[in-house]
Amino acid sequence: MKIKSTEIVDTFAEAFKMFGSRIVITAATKEWAMAAAQSITGFATSVIGCKCEAGIEAEIPAEETPDLRPGVSVLLFAMDADSVGKRLMERIGQCVMTCPTTACYNGLQEGSSVTVGGNLRYFGDGYQISKLLGDNKLWRIPVMDGEFLIDDTFNVKESVGGGNLLILGKDQTATLKAAKAATKAMREIPDIILPFPNGVVRSGSKVGSKYKSLIASTNDAYCPTLRGIVDNSETEEGINSVLEIVIDGLTLESVEEAMRVGMTAAAKPGVKKISAGNYGGGLGQYQIQLHQLMDKQD
Q: What is the mean pLDDT of each run of 10 residues along the chain (298 residues)?
A: 96 97 98 98 96 98 98 98 98 98 98 98 98 93 98 98 98 98 98 98 94 94 96 95 98 98 98 95 93 83
Q: Rounded to 5 degrees, what are φ and ψ at 293?
A: -60, -45
Asked if residues 37 and 43 have their Cβ atoms less than 8 Å apart, the reply is no
Q: What is the pLDDT of residue 18?
A: 98
CA 59, 64, 69: angle at the middle one, nearest 5? 75
Helix, strand, or coil (residue 48): helix
DSSP string, 97-158: TTSTT-EEEE--SSSEEEESHHHHGGGGTT--EEEEETTEEEEEEEETTEEEEEESEEEEEE
Same fold flag, 2-15+160-295 and 18-157? yes
Residue 63 DSSP one-character state: G
Where would I find the beta strands (DSSP E) of the chain? 2-3, 6-8, 12-26, 53-60, 71-78, 103-106, 112-115, 129-133, 136-143, 146-151, 153-169, 192-193, 205-207, 216-218, 241-249, 271-275, 286-289
Q: Which of 166, 144, 192, 218 is nearest to 8 (CA)?
A: 166
What backbone phi and psi angles, to 5 degrees, belong to 295? -65, -25
In this structure, the chain runs to a length of 298
- Residue 199: alpha-carbon gap to chain centroid: 8
Query: In this predicted structure, what is the pLDDT of residue 297?
Result: 66
Q: Where do the domains of the chain lie?
A: 2-15+160-295, 18-157
Residue-level pLDDT at 298: 52
| Architecture (CATH level 2) of domain 18-157 | 2-Layer Sandwich (3.30)
CATH of 2-15+160-295, one of 3.40.50.10800, 3.40.50.10260, 3.30.70.520, 3.60.15.10: 3.30.70.520
